[in-house]
Amino acid sequence: MKVHDFISKMYINGQWVNANDGSTFDVLNPSNGDKVGEVANGDRNDAQKAIHAARHAFDRWSCLTAYQRSEYLYKAYQLMMEHREHLARVMTEEQGKPLKASRGEIQYGADFLLWYAEEAKRIYGETIPAPRSDQRFIVLRQPVGVVAAITPWNYPMSMITRKVAPALAAGCTVVLKPSEATPLCAVEIFKIFEKAGIPAGVVNLVTASDPAPIGETFITNPLVRKITFTGSTEVGKILAKKAAEQVKHVSLELGGHAPFIVFDDADPVYAAKGAVLIKFLNTGQACISPNRIFVHRSIVDPFIKEFKNRVSGMRAGSGFENGVSIGPLVNSAALEKVERQVADALDKGATLVCGGHRLMDNNLDKGYFYAPTVLNDVTPEMLIYRQETFGPVAPIIAFDTQEEVLEMANDTIYGLAAYVYTPNLSRAMRMFEGLRFGIIGINDINPTAAAAPFGGMKESGLGREGGREGIAEYLETKLGGFSV
């Protein structure tokens, strides 16, 4: 199918516009390499125009009542749900994930619009008792100003609403640069914002094949008061360092290296089912994807048996085909990274349970497909033990004691998500408290929702998205001291 057969423009100050120099870049389907469409190839000048439009719109938008801003977000939610099938098809064609998964992401993305339509009305101030009888303290929470948002390709629509919805609810205006791999998804979301009647300049979209000049403009322009970024830890560190020069607010949702821990009192079949579902979600291209699966030595054999049976039944292919659960990796670099990690593990003594190769049959050679892979006997000396894979490879490590596995799980620079399977409440609580990760799933592979805070510790990021914490990231605290 062909969702797009025209050149998509950027959205700046309420208008769909071409790039400053008129250039475009192609968007390709990672499943087959086909051209999906063309998108305006923005540059620094386009980013500057968008920032100025956002600053000009800020005064009016921030002075609207919370109820007025809520109405816009609720309208956007309704439109997103009305157009969910079209949006899902655009996502599957451009990003490659199975259509069922795309539909799920649309719902998840719309949830943020609905949640923050309500949360806009929950921005509370407070009064503080003063030490003097003739003094009063009042605290206000006010929007930080213009927000520059940078979103990834792996969840190309929900990551937009997860950032834009709380920013708008708080009274901020936004300039967004989506991933160069999935700009059409962003274009479709901004069409929703336009149809919702969000005033000109409040939301702006700059697409570009080279993200560096846009990011540099976001960082150096003093009109931008906050950077929110989802992507690699390496880029996040660069943004945080440069943002510090102007003391900009920064929110970073970065890499993960999630442990998945299965204790000896867990049902190995049930645990394997959960591990497979979350490990191969989005073909392993999720920051909360398990990257190290720790299984108690006494149940590792039945666990691997069930895990292999489920993985062997997975089918790779176009996301539009029925029964497909494994989509393509995003590009050749991602495929090479997976191949390199698997080869390194096998060279250093890991056991290949299944998979372990690029998929080439049935026209899959035209895309970036890698077989769902299971490795046993993984050790700390292997790259896959230390580095985030972002692909369909499940490394399994046996352990003996609770103390041992807690130490191994925490032995990483990352701290985003972790999973624990055990029916023992005391053990579950101790692991919840002891794991140094921002999100812990206890017998639960989906510990996320629009109403819940999402974010990591250590080098997995700063700040939280979702929940009441998510809107706080876009607010300043102002104290008024009154002499009466």
268 and 368 assigned to the same domain: yes
162 and 205 assigned to the same domain: yes
Report pTM.
0.96
Looking at the domain assignment, is residue 394 inside a domain?
yes
Give the catalytic positions in this structure: 253, 287
CATH value at residue 86: 3.40.605.10
469 and 394 assigned to the same domain: no
236 and 359 assigned to the same domain: no
21 and 112 assigned to the same domain: yes
* Measured distance CA(232)–CA(214) in Å, rounded: 17
Looking at the domain assignment, is residue 454 inside a domain?
no
187 and 270 assigned to the same domain: no
Q: Tell me which residue range forms the domain holding 333.
A: 258-448
198 and 270 assigned to the same domain: no
Structure tokens at 374: 């299971």
Specify the number of domains making up the chain. Answer: 2
* Measured distance CA(58)–CA(143) in Å, rounded: 9
Looking at the domain assignment, is residue 375 inside a domain?
yes
pLDDT value of position 1: 43
Looking at the domain assignment, is residue 225 inside a domain?
yes
291 and 247 assigned to the same domain: no
Looking at the domain assignment, is residue 379 inside a domain?
yes
209 and 321 assigned to the same domain: no
440 and 470 assigned to the same domain: no
CATH value at residue 273: 3.40.309.10
Looking at the domain assignment, is residue 89 inside a domain?
yes
pLDDT value of position 6: 65
284 and 381 assigned to the same domain: yes
248 and 268 assigned to the same domain: no
pLDDT value of position 27: 96
Looking at the domain assignment, is residue 31 inside a domain?
yes
User: What is the phi/psi pair of residue 439, to 5°?
Assistant: -135, 125
What residues contact residue 368 under an 8 Å CB cut-off, 6+ apart? 30, 328, 329, 330, 331, 332, 334, 335
Looking at the domain assignment, is residue 455 inside a domain?
no
The tens-digit pLDDT sequence of the chain (484 residues) is 455 556 899 999 999 999 999 999 999 999 999 999 999 999 999 999 999 999 999 999 999 999 999 999 999 999 999 999 999 999 999 999 999 999 999 999 999 999 999 999 999 999 999 999 999 999 999 999 999 999 999 999 999 999 999 999 999 999 999 999 999 999 999 999 999 999 999 999 999 999 999 999 999 999 999 999 999 999 999 999 999 999 999 999 999 999 999 999 999 999 999 999 999 999 999 999 999 999 999 999 999 999 999 999 999 999 999 999 999 999 999 999 999 999 999 999 999 999 999 999 989 999 999 999 999 999 999 999 999 999 999 999 999 999 999 999 999 999 999 999 999 999 999 999 999 999 999 999 999 999 999 999 999 999 999 999 999 999 999 999 999 9
